[in-house]
A and B are shown apart, each in its own frame.
Chain A
Amino acid sequence: MNTELIKAENISFKINENRLFHNLTFSLNKGEALHITGSNGSGKSTLIRIILGITPQSKGSIMIINNNNICYLGHKNALKGYLSVIDNLMLHGLNNHKDLNYYLEKLDLIKFLDVVVANLSFGQQKKLALLRVFLNDSDLIILDEPFVGLDKDAHDFVKNFLLKELETGKAIVYTSHIDCEIESKVLNLQ
């Protein structure tokens, strides 16, 4: 049985003739994590966007199985500042999810349900955006800097959640400056 979810061969990318990365080859199977690291401006987010199919690569080929079933959280968290927490959840179709209350409680968001998102702190907004990841049913989870702005508890919570997801056979791609103690393949963009 084929368990490969992503297969990339010799991917290069350049913007306005400035080369970001060159000849990257990697693959990802079910139950595996891929940690993309690198200094600022090395093209981590761009690589994520190439995997997502938003940005086309300059050279090379990339194949993703089941393109439409990806759970993605980027720098921009797709929250509407002028809507309340519950409205935002509705926007993403999560307001009736059976596990919603469990996670809201775990992340200390339950008492903010009617608060307008713009009045939440950065970390709280990040947690709210992460709810979409927790409640996903995708095979592939792609996260761009998921740990930025989180306190210790939330950090551990996210980490444990991701470990659990890996055990159930999902695949994860994430970028991070720091090592976050998830056993994963590492792709260093320099």
Chain B
Amino acid sequence: MYKYIFYFSLFIYIFSLVWGVLFTQEDFVQGNSFRIIYLHVPASFLSQSIYAAMAISSVIYLIWRVKLSAYLILAMAPIGALVTFLALFSGSVWGIPTWGTWWQWDARITSTLILFIMYLGLISLHNSFSNHEKADKLLSWLVIVGFVNIPIIKKSVDWWSTLHQSASITLTDKPTIDPSMLYPLIGSIIGFFGIVICLIIISSKVQIFKREKTKSWIKDYV
């Protein structure tokens, strides 16, 4: 089932990418460099959403001991790290022509970098325990405490003056972006979202196989 979602999302993403990169006009200020938003915006958007999803799974795991949510946390952590890295990397590439520098100690970039380090911390914490259930519990605690910290980090680094442009699309306000760029952007967000969700499904499937390999239903399935 998820295979179809995957191909469908991939199609939407590539379609929006082609549309956005080849068939929209240049940005008045930023020239052609803005076209990287079709990677940068979805990645930045998801880097935090994935962490939020992990935090929800952690709460579910700690309260109701649902094993599946523990597997989900594990499955999401590396993908979250990857997406966050993509956001940072694409941001750097975009920064060279627009700001003249690939790195700036600016609020959003710094908090994204911290988020990336937090993902790495989560992964290394889980890897250092051989008792899986213990590792799941400890990981959940760290995810929750880290999630509490994310708005605080954002708030505190926002105190610095920032180079980063403010968000172009919000749920409440009218978008400040030209429609010809907006539609491919929305398409790319949806496509990227679908791809990431499918990756998470695949990766959690791997986790389930790994952890439940002694169960008879797995043997029947494989």
Contacts and interface: CB of A to CB of B under 8 A. Distances in A.
A and B touch in the complex (CB under 8 A): yes
B211 A17 contact: yes
A15 B212 contact: no
Interface residues of B, number: 9
B213 A17 contact: yes
A16 B130 CA distance: 9
B127 to A, nearest CB: 15
B131 A17 contact: no
A15 B131 contact: yes
A24 B213 CA distance: 25
Interface string B203-222: 00000000111110000000
Contacts of A18: 214
Interface in A1-47: 15-18
Interface residues of A, number: 4
Interface of B: 130-133, 211-215
B99 to A, nearest CB: 50
A30 B215 CA distance: 41
Contacts of B130: 16
Contacts of A15: 131, 133
A87 B211 CA distance: 46
B189 to A, nearest CB: 39
Contacts of B132: 16
A60 to B, nearest CB: 15
Contacts of B133: 15-16
B131 A16 contact: yes
A29 B133 CA distance: 33
Closest 8 pairs (CB-CB, A-B): A17-B214, A16-B132, A15-B131, A16-B131, A17-B212, A17-B211, A17-B213, A17-B215
B210 to A, nearest CB: 10
A41 to B, nearest CB: 15
Nearest to A18: B214
B217 to A, nearest CB: 13
B163 to A, nearest CB: 48
A15 B134 CA distance: 10
A18 B212 CA distance: 10
Contacts of A16: 130-133
Contacts of B213: 17
A15 to B, nearest CB: 6
A58 to B, nearest CB: 9
Contacts of B214: 17-18
Interface in A145-187: none
A16 B134 CA distance: 10
A57 to B, nearest CB: 12
A153 to B, nearest CB: 40
Nearest to B213: A17
A16 B215 CA distance: 12
A18 to B, nearest CB: 8
Nearest to B211: A17
Nearest to A58: B133
B212 to A, nearest CB: 7
A18 B214 CA distance: 8
Nearest to B132: A16
12 contacts: A15-B131, A15-B133, A16-B130, A16-B131, A16-B132, A16-B133, A17-B211, A17-B212, A17-B213, A17-B214, A17-B215, A18-B214
